[in-house]
């Protein structure tokens, strides 16, 4: 299976820079969550990956090749960007047959995917009668026609009910377990946290953080400190910590320092510490901190 390499990717529209010198990797066998506030450049980036948008500079390779140089691109990359991009009078079955013929994929894939995506019973219904969740499933089916090793999915969980969301979570894990590289853009951070191996976070078109979710969460951990000398301790810790919040006259929340380091600094300055407790942040908290959304709010 192939991975994706994004290197120095930039897109400008006149004076507006939508994506700015962006670099990251989507590795095979992993689900990579692509996160950022609205307007951060996620969709533009994903569309540049498959040639829908031409970059101003930089580029993307998939298994070492640009998308346009792949002899049969839909057998390498499957993309689902718009859950409503279907002719409303076409049935799901005929929609998939058309795309299978265009990509040179065997007709049996249509029936396989209708069954796999839970659409077999509704396969002859016009897509215009489909719910949002059903259209999302059909988008996934279209992306999977060529059995690609790379999947680019933009908000695939939109419109899914709780049962559908749980199904999608398991489905993405299954796809990654088969060795595929899966890039998922999403705002459903609670769901992403349950499925993602890696995280790429951007803001205003620029990379904020990238890496394994567990490592990023560990680096962004918060330690709750109880101390009668809280004010003085905060001043001692400030040069080494990423941030310090006062939770009360005797309580601190210290970002970016391990408990042992906090204890050592307190002891070195003869400051009392009555309690240390490490909190691992949720993906939502990590996202808000990394993108500055918490500060902006």
| Per-residue model confidence as pLDDT tens digits over 167-211 | 889 999 999 999 999 999 987 777 788 889 999 989 899 998 888
The per-residue b/e assignment along 85-95, b for 16 or more CB within 10 angstroms, e otherwise, is ebeeeebbbbb
Report, in this order, helix, strand and coil percent for the chain, each rounded to 5. Answer: 40, 30, 35
Nearest by Cα to 31 from 220, 208, 168, 207: 168
Q: What is the DSSP letter of 126?
A: B
| Per-residue model confidence as pLDDT tens digits over 112-168 | 999 999 999 999 999 999 988 899 999 999 999 999 999 999 988 887 888 888 888
Domains of the chain by residue range: 4-211, 222-279
Distances (CA, A) of 268 to 214, 223, 265: 31, 19, 5
8 A C-beta contact, residue 78 and residue 151: yes
| Per-residue model confidence as pLDDT tens digits over 223-279 | 899 999 999 999 999 998 878 988 888 999 898 788 899 999 999 999 999 999 887
| Both tokens assigned to 254 | 């210290």
Query: From the CB of residue 251, how many other CB atoms can be counted at a distance below 10 Å?
Result: 15
Nearest by Cα to 219 from 190, 234, 241, 236: 241
Please give the Cα distance from 192 to 50 (Å, whole number).
23
Please give the Cα distance from 236 to 104 (Å, whole number).
66
Please give the Cα distance from 63 to 1 (Å, whole number).
8
| Both tokens assigned to 85 | 């991009």
Q: Which fold has domain 222-279?
A: Alpha-Beta Plaits (3.30.70)
> What values do phi and psi take at 293, rounded to 5?
-65, -35
pLDDT tier at 295 (50, 70, 90 boundaries)? very low
8 A C-beta contact, residue 184 and residue 31: yes
Distances (CA, A) of 148 to 179, 253, 275: 11, 46, 52
CATH 3.30.479.30 fits 4-211, yes or no: no
Higher pLDDT: 191 or 3? It is 3
Please check whether the two domains, 4-211 and 222-279, share a CATH topology: no
Strands (E), the chain: 4-13, 16-26, 30-35, 57-62, 77-80, 150-154, 181-185, 198-203, 206-212, 222-226, 243-248, 251-255, 275-279
| Both tokens assigned to 249 | 């006259």
Q: In which element (H, E) is residue 281 found?
A: none
pLDDT tier at 280 (50, 70, 90 boundaries)? low
């Amino acid at each position: 299976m192939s991975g994706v390499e994004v290197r120095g990717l930039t897109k400008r529209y006149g004076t507006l820079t939508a994506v700015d010198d962006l670099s990251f990797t989507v590795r095979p066998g992993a689900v990579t969550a692509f996160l950022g506030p609205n307007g951060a450049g996620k969709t533009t980036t994903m569309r540049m990956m498959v040639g829908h948008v031409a970059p101003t500079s930089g580029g993307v390779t998939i298994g070492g090749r640009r998308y346009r140089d792949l002899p049969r691109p839909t057998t390498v990359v499957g993309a689902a960007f718009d859950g409503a991009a279907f002719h409303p009078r076409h049935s799901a079955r005929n929609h998939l047959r058309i795309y299978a013929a265009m990509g040179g994929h065997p007709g049996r894939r249509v029936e396989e995917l209708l069954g796999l995506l839970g659409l077999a019973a509704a396969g002859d219904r016009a897509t215009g009668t489909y719910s949002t969740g059903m259209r999302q499933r059909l988008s996934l089916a279209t992306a999977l026609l060529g059995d690609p090793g790379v999947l680019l999915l933009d908000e695939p969980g939109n419109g899914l009910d709780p049962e559908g969301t749980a199904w999608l979570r398991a489905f993405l894990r299954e796809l990654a377990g088969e060795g595929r590289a899966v890039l998922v853009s999403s705002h459903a951070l609670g769901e992403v946290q349950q499925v993602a191996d890696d995280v790429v976070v951007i803001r205003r078109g620029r990379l904020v953080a990238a890496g394994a979710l567990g490592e990023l969460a560990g680096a962004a951990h918060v330690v709750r400190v109880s101390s009668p000398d809280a004010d003085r301790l905060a001043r001692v810790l400030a040069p080494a910590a990423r941030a310090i919040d006062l939770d009360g006259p005797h309580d601190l929340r210290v970002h970016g320092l391990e408990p042992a380091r906090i204890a050592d600094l307190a002891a070195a300055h003869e400051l009392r510490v009555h309690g240390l407790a490490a909190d691992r942040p949720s993906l939502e908290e990590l996202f808000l901190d990394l993108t500055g959304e918490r500060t902006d709010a």
